[in-house]
Amino acid sequence: MERLQKILSAKGICSRREAEKLILDGRVSVNGVTAELGQSADILADDIKVDDEFLSFTPEHYYIMLNKPRGYITTASDDRGRKTVMDLVSQLDVRLYPVGRLDMESEGLLLMTNDGNFANIVTHPSSGKLKTYEVKVSGKVSDVIPTLKEPMMVDDHLVKAAKVKLKEETKNGAILELSIVQGRNRQIRKMCGNVGLEVLSLKRICIGDVKLGSLEPGKWRYLTDSEISSLTSVGASSID
């Protein structure tokens, strides 16, 4: 027996959060009875339906890397008509959803899948996967890099130490390579703001050992078996 939201996400129907909403909206039933949040079911013995359609338990899993351009939002749909990352993978005849987020003005490496277990492992803090960003900033950098490397308060939460490397000095600022374990909403932008830096551009270039490489903006590719294995391995983070 497993909780319904775990069953739905593990079988590629949606994320766990979306599954909870489906259940709360009364769109999931077990053996003909509308399901309740927190309910468990047996995938082998129970008839589970979503929107009156029996749940299939043999999905083909897809794992892709997208180079998200600026101007796209990381969501499956948008009621304001803005461009979403789904527009960039529409040629795939399968429902994917993003693993984590990049805000509208950020770009770079975004994982997408229909495998809920994969998404849960990659995003869970215990995975210890560093997320590395190339950040162009304006402001006086040299004096604040030590502070950026230390734990700091972001939105009333203490975020863990970051790994910061000065890649290049520019006329009015610098290009930094910044790695974090956590990924709170707009965390890097807020960290830089805390020390008086303005973020001019932000691109995620790496998650764990998986690198964006030369993939062009707006393009995607399938992850290799070794990349999938690397992302689902659990290990301690390496901030130093």
CATH of 63-126+210-232, one of 3.30.43.10, 3.50.50.60, 3.40.50.300, 3.30.70.580: 3.30.70.580
Question: Which pTM does this prediction carry?
Answer: 0.74
Mean pLDDT computed over every residue of the chain: 90
Please state the φ and ψ torsions of residue 199, each to the nearest 5 degrees: -80, 120
Give the model confidence (pLDDT) of 199-239 as tens digits: 999 999 999 999 999 999 999 999 999 999 999 987 655 56
What's the Cα-to-Cα distance from 42 to each of 46, 99, 121, rounded to whole Å? 5, 27, 22
User: Active site residue: 103, 115, 225, 240, which one?
Assistant: 103
Percent of the chain surpassing pLDDT 90: 64
Q: Determine the topology of domain 130-207 in CATH.
A: Alpha-Beta Plaits (3.30.70)
pLDDT at 148 over 70: yes
pLDDT at 10 over 80: no
Q: Would residue 240 show up in a list of annotated catalytic residues for this protein?
A: no
Q: Determine the topology of domain 2-54 in CATH.
A: 3.10.290
Could you give the CA distance from residue 139 to residue 220 in angstroms, rounded to a whole number? 34
Secondary element (H or E) of residue 2: strand 2-3
Q: Establish whether domains 2-54 and 130-207 are of one fold.
A: no
> What is the predicted pLDDT for the residue at 239?
62
What is the residue extent of each domain of the chain? 2-54, 63-126+210-232, 130-207
pLDDT: is 59 or 169 the higher one?
A: 169
Q: What is the mean pLDDT of residues 37-61?
A: 82
Give the model confidence (pLDDT) of 150-201 as tens digits: 999 999 999 998 999 999 999 899 999 999 988 788 999 999 999 999 999 9
